[in-house]
């Protein structure tokens, strides 16, 4: 085979380089609405919703609730995490679908709201609150008939906090249920070892106003562990073994009680499927998985459905032109990437969410995010016009569900109800 001349070599290399550049060039990701979102777009318009809204698909919500219920029924108790589902009608619907009155509450305002308006609730606090918050709860008792001495379990994580709650119980002559937070591997808090637990057992045993009601060991961190060299499985096994160790210690202590009288809570949305009732825990908590934001697109939850979307109107559309001084950058970007040729500005933005529909929309890396009129870029194949809706999936349900006023309930091609949400609260 004859050798290439220098000119031939350079020409061949140039062709190869050009071919490589073409191969690297982004393809067009744009497309019009899928039928589901086309129908949802029309439903929102028909309902006269002209501003950003949080939409829940009722059929998908019901499917998720049925899936959770099928997993836990007759094997475990289910507790709904109300900070992740911060809407009374939503919680009511899920409570009915899953047959539970158990809720996990994370702050004083939601505790006051729930106990006043849903006095049948069985409440476990999801984090240890400063004793000042507990004192305020007892200083402003509900008038609903809710009995805190039977229906409310305070979460306690250290001997020091236990002493504070003991002193509060004495001051109010108030019996209290005490659930002990244990550290099963997250290291965010909770009792770290049996020596500390022994001290807490003694404090409870010595105080007639305190009654031990169970354990809470949050293990959802296991699903964040990289699946490398068996690390995730090791983390799962460690969490279960740690829980078993604490539970066995308590049952050998002066506080021992029948398992079915205790709240032995574990899990969270990412990890509830790891539990089948054969371990030490007898209850799992589930919240966000019921509406499945993007943070819960995990292997254990593949058969659950995205049921919550942010819908926001398009205000303006047109060719993407960068601000004065950098206009050539937008032209160059559009030449290279067809997905940066068209711009649209939405009502609001900068949420904990990712564009979902129509396909192929993304924020501008040049202009960035905005909470007022965020720009999204696409190829134009989305074929959006002003007053059409862009749909985003929240990355989480906690806090996000409360940013838009009443939740729009979507059912059978229509917006059928508007559900009020809890006030925003950490």
Give the domain CATH number at 159. Answer: 3.20.20.10
pLDDT of residue 15: 44
Question: Looking at the structure, do residues 233 and 112 belong to the same domain, yes or no?
Answer: yes
In the structure encoding, which two tokens stand for residue 142, read together? 């509900």
- Within-domain flag for 35: yes
pLDDT of residue 370: 94
Categorize the per-residue pLDDT at 23 as very low, low, confident or very high, splitting at 50, 70 and 90.
low
pLDDT of residue 365: 83
Question: Looking at the structure, do residues 331 and 373 belong to the same domain, yes or no?
Answer: yes
Percentage of residues of the chain with pLDDT beyond 90: 86
Question: Looking at the structure, do residues 141 and 270 belong to the same domain, yes or no?
Answer: yes
Checking if the pLDDT of 16 tops 50, the result is no
Checking if the pLDDT of 252 tops 50, the result is yes
pLDDT of residue 320: 84
Question: Looking at the structure, do residues 139 and 192 belong to the same domain, yes or no?
Answer: yes
Question: Looking at the structure, do residues 124 and 187 belong to the same domain, yes or no?
Answer: yes
- Within-domain flag for 426: no
User: In this predicted model, what pLDDT tens digit does every residue of 256-293 receive, in sequence order?
Assistant: 999 999 999 999 999 999 999 999 999 999 999 999 99
Report whether 363 contacts 384 (CB < 8 A).
Answer: no
Using alpha carbons, select from 319, 388, 394 the residue that is nearest to residue 355: 394
- Mean pLDDT value of segment 177-200: 97
**Which range of residues forms the domain containing residue 401?**
30-53+306-419
The pLDDT mean for the chain works out to 93
- Within-domain flag for 361: yes
Question: Looking at the structure, do residues 125 and 251 belong to the same domain, yes or no?
Answer: yes
Question: Looking at the structure, do residues 42 and 157 belong to the same domain, yes or no?
Answer: no
In the structure encoding, which two tokens stand for residue 51, read together? 């501003």
Checking if the pLDDT of 145 tops 60, the result is yes
Percentage of residues of the chain with pLDDT beyond 70: 92
SS in 3 state form for the chain?
Answer: CCCCCHHHHHHHHHHHHHHHHHHHCCCCCCCCCCHHHHHHHHHHHHCCCCCCEEEEEHHHHHHHHHHHHHHHCCCCEEEEECCCCCCHHHHHHHHHHHCCCEEEECCHHHHHHHHHHCCCCEEEECCCCCHHHHHHHHHCCCCCCCCHHHHEEEEECCHHHHHHHHHHHHHHCCCEEEEEEECCCCCCCCECCHHHHHHHHHHHHCCCCEEEEEEEECCHHHHHCCCCCCHHHHHHHHHHHHHHHHHHHHHCCCCCCCHHHCEEEECCCCCHHHCCCCCCCCEEEECHHHCCCHHHCCHHHCCCCCCEEEEEEEEEEEECCCCCCCHHHHHHHHHHCHHHCEEEEECECCCCEEEEECCCCEECCCCCCCCCECEEEECCCCCCCCCCEEEEEECCCCCHHHCCCCEEEEECCEEEEEECCCCCCC
What's the chain's length in residues?
A: 426
Checking if the pLDDT of 394 tops 70, the result is yes
Give CA torsion, residues 270, 273, 278, 280, to 10 deg. Answer: 10
- Within-domain flag for 264: yes
User: In this predicted model, what pLDDT tens digit does every residue of 65-122 receive, in sequence order?
Assistant: 999 999 999 899 999 999 999 999 999 999 999 999 999 999 999 999 999 999 999 9
Question: Looking at the structure, do residues 239 and 360 belong to the same domain, yes or no?
Answer: no
Report whether 262 contacts 362 (CB < 8 A).
Answer: no
Question: Looking at the structure, do residues 171 and 253 belong to the same domain, yes or no?
Answer: yes
- Within-domain flag for 15: no
HSE-up (13 A, CA, CB side) for residue 278: 3
- Within-domain flag for 97: yes
Give the domain CATH number at 380. Answer: 2.40.37
HSE-up (13 A, CA, CB side) for residue 20: 6
Checking if the pLDDT of 349 tops 90, the result is yes
Question: Looking at the structure, do residues 94 and 243 belong to the same domain, yes or no?
Answer: yes
Between these two residues, 141 and 87, which has the higher pLDDT value? 87
- Within-domain flag for 348: yes
pLDDT of residue 65: 98
pLDDT of residue 17: 44
Between these two residues, 353 and 23, which has the higher pLDDT value? 353
- Cα dihedral across residues 310, 315, 318, 322: positive or negative: negative
- Within-domain flag for 293: no
Checking if the pLDDT of 9 tops 50, the result is no
Total domains in the fold of the chain: 2
Using alpha carbons, select from 312, 194, 214 the residue that is nearest to residue 260: 214
pLDDT of residue 19: 43
Question: Looking at the structure, do residues 258 and 355 belong to the same domain, yes or no?
Answer: no
Question: Looking at the structure, do residues 256 and 367 belong to the same domain, yes or no?
Answer: no
């Amino acid at each position: 085979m004859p050798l290439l001349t220098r000119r031939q070599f350079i020409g061949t290399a140039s062709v190869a380089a050009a071919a490589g550049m073409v191969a690297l060039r982004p393809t067009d990701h744009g497309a019009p609405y899928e039928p589901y979102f086309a129908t949802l777009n029309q439903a929102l318009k028909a309902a006269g919703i002209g501003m950003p809204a949080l939409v829940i698909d009722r059929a998908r919500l019901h499917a998720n609730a049925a899936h959770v219920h099928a997993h836990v029924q007759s094997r475990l108790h289910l507790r709904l995490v109300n900070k992740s589902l911060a809407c009374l009608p939503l919680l009511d619907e899920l409570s009915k679908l899953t047959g539970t009155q158990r809720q996990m509450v994370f702050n004083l305002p939601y505790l006051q709201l729930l106990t006043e308006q849903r006095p049948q609730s069985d409440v476990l606090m999801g984090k240890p609150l400063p004793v000042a918050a507990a004192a305020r709860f007892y200083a402003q008792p509900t008038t609903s008939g809710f009995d805190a001495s039977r229906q409310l379990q305070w979460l306690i994580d250290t001997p020091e906090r236990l002493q504070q709650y003991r002193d509060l119980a004495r001051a109010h002559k108030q019996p209290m249920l005490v659930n002990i937070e244990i550290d099963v591997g997250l290291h965010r808090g909770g009792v770290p070892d049996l020596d500390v637990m022994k001290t807490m057992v003694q404090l409870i045993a010595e105080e007639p106003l305190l009654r031990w009601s169970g354990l809470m060991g949050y293990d959802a961190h296991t699903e964040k562990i990289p699946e490398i060299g068996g690390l995730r499985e090791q983390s799962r096994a460690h969490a279960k073994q740690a829980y078993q160790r604490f539970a066995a210690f308590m049952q050998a202590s002066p506080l021992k009680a029948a398992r079915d009288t205790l709240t032995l809570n574990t899990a969270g949305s990412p990890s509830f499927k790891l539990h089948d009732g054969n371990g030490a825990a007898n209850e799992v908590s589930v919240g966000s998985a019921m509406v499945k934001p993007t943070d819960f697109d995990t292997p254990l939850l593949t058969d659950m459905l995205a049921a919550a979307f942010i819908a926001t109107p398009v205000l303006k559309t047109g060719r993407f032109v960068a601000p004065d001084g950098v206009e050539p950058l937008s032209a160059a970007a559009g030449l290279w990437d067809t997905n940066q040729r068209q711009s649209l500005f939405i009502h609001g933005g900068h949420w904990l969410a990712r564009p979902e529909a129509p396909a192929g929309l993304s924020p501008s890396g040049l202009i960035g995010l905005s909470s007022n009129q965020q720009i999204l870029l696409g190829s134009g194949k989305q074929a959006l016009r002003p007053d059409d809706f862009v749909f985003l999936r929240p990355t989480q349900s906690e806090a996000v569900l409360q940013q838009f006023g009443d939740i729009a309930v979507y059912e059978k091609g229509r917006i059928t109800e508007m559900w009020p949400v809890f006030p925003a609260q950490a």
